[in-house]
Amino acid sequence: MIKINKFFIPILILSPLFSQEVSNDWLNYTINEPNTKSVEQISSVDDIEFYYTIQISVKKSFDEAMEVLKLLNENDIDAFIQKNDVSSDFKYRVRYGNFSKKEDAIKIAEYINITLGYECWIDKNEL
């Protein structure tokens, strides 16, 4: 009797999870948004003239930039280092992302500021 209960009780508990009724009501659902753009109105990647990158930090040495990069990577921010040949003092930029919308870059920059304390700025780059 005990062996039967060991198998019967888990089946009894889990059976509602697997016995849901399948419905096709979702097939009849339509989205009624009058302001949606048609395919012709949506801009393609070729129409974008600029992209935005978040500059998180600028460091004098590559090792200092790597320390920032490691901290960002530990927090699931896949940043990169860009060498700056213009400035002799601060040669290594720590940056993140390529955004088509400045608003998206601003949101992520605010998150980085709140989470890690870096005061980021948005850099506009021409394609």
CATH code of the domain covering residue 120? 3.30.70.1070
Residue 4 belongs to what H/E stretch? helix 2-18
Q: In which order are the strands placed within the sheet that holds 92-99? A: 80-83, 92-99, 50-59, 121-126
Residue 27 lies in a domain: no
Question: Which range of residues forms the domain containing residue 77?
Answer: 46-126
CA of residue 111 relative to chain centroid, distance? 11
- Structural domain contains residue 4: no
CA atoms lying within 13 Å on the CB side of residue 84: 20
Beta strands in the chain (DSSP E): 50-59, 80-83, 92-99, 121-126
* 12 located within any domain: no
Residue type, 21: E
Tokens of 4: 């039967």
pLDDT digits over 92-122, tens only? 999 999 999 999 999 999 999 999 999 999 9
- Choose between 21 and 114: higher pLDDT: 114
Is residue 51 situated within a structural domain? yes
Residue 110 lies in a domain: yes
Q: Which pair of structure tokens corresponds to residue 119?
A: 């005061």
Report the pLDDT averaged over residues 52-68: 95
- 55 located within any domain: yes
Predicted TM-score (pTM) of the model is 0.60
CB-CB neighbours of 106 under 10 Å: 15
Domain assignment of residue 85, yes or no: yes
How many structural domains is the chain composed of? 1
